[in-house]
Structure 1
């Protein structure tokens, strides 16, 4: 009886010790999760055109969902799935979120963001950890979606008018596996009209296990997609199908749906500046010429935009300036230097052929340039910015293009119309090889 009493006393002491230790660990995880959520969910996931569902398998979610606006009004969206779940899987999400938000805000494209993400994860993750990811750039203005899928289940692009569904398959290895010199950041570009939707999910959905050890699988998911009649209810219908399947989740389950939607306005700068602007440069000019080797692997837009945003009076117009610069640079590179015909993009097949030609011609480019000429001049307390973008191409028939109405509904030939809409002061040289736009601040007309 004495031994039983000592055994009972020992068990009670160990139980209390385990309970205290468990509460201590749970409290640490709650604090860490609060910090993690503030970092990981500081974007635009609450936007009206984004719907999502995340059901964590543990207190921490190994799935990561991020969304943020670019300075030009496009939407970058990342759905990632780290190996494992819980705290170890969430550790890699912090640097990933930092790269995603900071580079998106500065105007970098998917290729630059992907290279930086992969290099950082390759450097910090142990060899048995990696990150499957799908990264999107949804541009309602350019009527397209740019996709990179590395190790994630198929996503789906659903056309609103035709009802056609296109699978967004994985064509790359996950992030954090390959060294920087062999990492493939090539993306797929597809037409996406306003109202079209992209649906992404993690493997926790299709790997949900039923009562007979059957997996929910892709076929059941596609039957739900085929039966869907109200796109706004798709995620709820998939969730209901998982419940009817009586499945047991073995991993984190995440789904996200994003609709292409034109931004209501481009008036909120993506980057918040803390300086007073008293040291802002007010009278200067600069010229940059980017030649073939740079055009092949360097995106000059964030570099040029960062320089312009040092001018305090221009910061409120940062998103519009970025949108105009992006269109002018795209036209100069693709139609001027590379000689691509935008009429190829009139249908889905033409879209794929256009961007395949773009990739091939850029890879073999030997000559050519795109030149930016910037001039900032003060006018009293106000000021004016002049930007000239010139290319080495053959030019185009300016009079014919200018005679067209400002039609933004077509898939091709929209660049000039968009620039004229955002910047009425835009003008083109008669030979079509250079364009000049003007922005003013401080009350100038």
Structure 2
């Protein structure tokens, strides 16, 4: 009887210890989630063209979902899956979220973001931990989507009545050193209204009562049977529930529809300075030559310089969009000599960007020159930007005679610049373009 009494006391002590330890762990998770929510705000996940399914504590299952607008109105979206669970996954997710939001707001492209994310995770994560991820940029203005998939299940692009699988072509983040990391992306046409679905391996690895996995074939049957895109995630969730008889809480899915941004012109960055000091009379000129063009994106740096002029900040998104198009045209059609007419279909898109990568790697000469002039005018001021390239130029008169057609897949850059900046004009030889922006002093 005495031994049974001691055993009962031991069991009660262990029960109380386990309960206290469980409360401690739950409190740790609540604190970690509160800190993470401050670091990784929700971004634009609440946008009407984004639908997603994620458990409240998916962060502690290793899943991470982030979305944010670029200054030009494009959408960056990241779906990631860390190895492991609990606090280690949350700790790895926080620096990833910080890089994602800060670099997106400054206008960096996917390549620069991927290099920074991989380098940071490689530096801080232990050797047995890494991050599978799909990072994409949906641009309704340019009618395309740019995708990088490292170790994640296939995503699916539904465009023009056809479904394209976005397969993994890279190793996960945090595995390779910087010099071996491959940041090359895949670019596909995506018109307004087209749908794109991303998911984590929790969907495919859902196990039924007979120990069979849900798998790709069952998922594709759900995709084939879907008639209402806005109900796709709910139909997949129901298929998982029917397959195993109960809902799982470690499944993450996100669906995004391409649509034109309605907020272009609203600054994407919040500035903390007083606005009392502003450079109002200055000019600068930058010439970026072949070795720099191969691996450096100058636009965030030039834009940051321009945003020091407080009167321009309200037009920051438009300036960034116009400068991005002018730089892309100067690099791709001027320096690299690419023909925009290639981008008329899916195969043409793939061939165009394959040629772009090949010509950029082998580039030996050429330049893109960006000249900026800011001058006071009355109570406000004026900004003049001139972008020049070393290419062969183009027939300006013929291009200007075309209507402002933004619905075609190719040759949209000049039309977009003319729409956003009516003061834009091109030199007769087609090798340089000049745009002007003005502002009035705030009352």
Q: TM-score range by the shorter chain?
A: over 0.9
CA positional deviation for 1:276 = 1.1
Distance 1:94 1:213 in 2: 35
Distance 1:264 1:57 in 2: 32
> Does 1:245 pair with 2:243?
yes
Distance 1:124 1:248 in 2: 37
State the secondary structure of the residue aligned to 1:322.
helix
Counterpart of 2:333?
A: 335
User: What per-residue deviation string (whole Å, max 9, x for no partner) do you get for residues 177-229 of structure 1?
Assistant: 00000100000000000000110000000000010000000000000000000
Distance 1:318 1:58, change over 3 A: closer
Distance 1:265 1:169 in 2: 32
TM-score, structure 1 length as denominator?
0.96
Counterpart of 1:286?
A: 284
CA positional deviation for 1:8 = 2.6
Distance 1:57 1:365, change over 3 A: same
Distance 2:89 2:219 in 1: 26
Counterpart of 2:428?
A: 430
Counterpart of 1:129?
A: 129
Counterpart of 1:18?
A: 18
Counterpart of 1:145?
A: 145
Distance 2:431 2:112 in 1: 28
Distance 1:59 1:407 in 2: 44
Counterpart of 2:63?
A: 63
> Does 1:110 pair with 2:110?
yes
Counterpart of 2:311?
A: 313
CA positional deviation for 1:24 = 2.3
CA contact (8 A) 2:311 2:441 kept: no
Structure 2: stretches of 5+ with no match in the other structure: none
Distance 1:357 1:59 in 2: 39
Counterpart of 2:213?
A: 215
CA positional deviation for 1:380 = 3.0
State the secondary structure of the residue aligned to 1:60.
helix
Distance 1:350 1:91 in 2: 42
Distance 1:26 1:443 in 2: 54
- Equivalent of residue 398 in structure 1, options 375, 396, 399: 396
Distance 1:307 1:276, change over 3 A: same
Counterpart of 1:276?
A: 274
CA positional deviation for 1:59 = 7.2
State the secondary structure of the residue aligned to 2:48.
coil
Higher alpha-carbon deviation: 248-257 or 312-321: 248-257
CA contact (8 A) 1:376 1:385 kept: yes
> Does 1:204 pair with 2:180?
no
> Does 1:43 pair with 2:21?
no
Distance 1:14 1:51 in 2: 45
> Does 1:236 pair with 2:234?
yes
Distance 1:56 1:212 in 2: 28
Higher alpha-carbon deviation: 221-230 or 3-12: 3-12
Structure 1: stretches of 5+ with no match in the other structure: none
Higher alpha-carbon deviation: 61-70 or 6-15: 6-15
Counterpart of 1:76?
A: 76
Counterpart of 1:170?
A: 168
Counterpart of 2:419?
A: 421
Distance 1:174 1:101 in 2: 20
CA contact (8 A) 2:241 2:247 kept: no
CA contact (8 A) 1:285 1:375 kept: yes
Counterpart of 2:34?
A: 34
> Does 1:383 pair with 2:381?
yes
TM-score, structure 2 length as denominator?
0.97
Distance 2:169 2:382 in 1: 46
Distance 1:357 1:190 in 2: 14
CA contact (8 A) 1:62 1:82 kept: yes
Distance 1:130 1:364 in 2: 32
Counterpart of 2:189?
A: 191
State the secondary structure of the residue aligned to 1:48.
coil
Q: How many residues align?
A: 442
Counterpart of 1:90?
A: 90
User: What per-residue deviation string (whole Å, max 9, x for no partner) do you get for residues 233-264 of structure 1?
Assistant: 00000000000101678883110000000001
Distance 1:14 1:351 in 2: 64
Q: Could you list the runs of 4 or more consecutive aligned residues of structure 1 that deviate by over 4 angstroms after TM superposition?
A: 56-59, 247-251
CA positional deviation for 1:2 = 3.4
Distance 1:55 1:10 in 2: 37
CA positional deviation for 1:277 = 1.5
Question: What do you get for the CA RMSD once the two structures are aligned?
Answer: 1.6
CA positional deviation for 1:5 = 3.0
Distance 1:286 1:255 in 2: 46
User: What per-residue deviation string (whole Å, max 9, x for no partner) do you get for residues 4-39 of structure 1?
Assistant: 334333432332233223212211211211221333
Distance 2:21 2:81 in 1: 29
CA positional deviation for 1:384 = 0.5
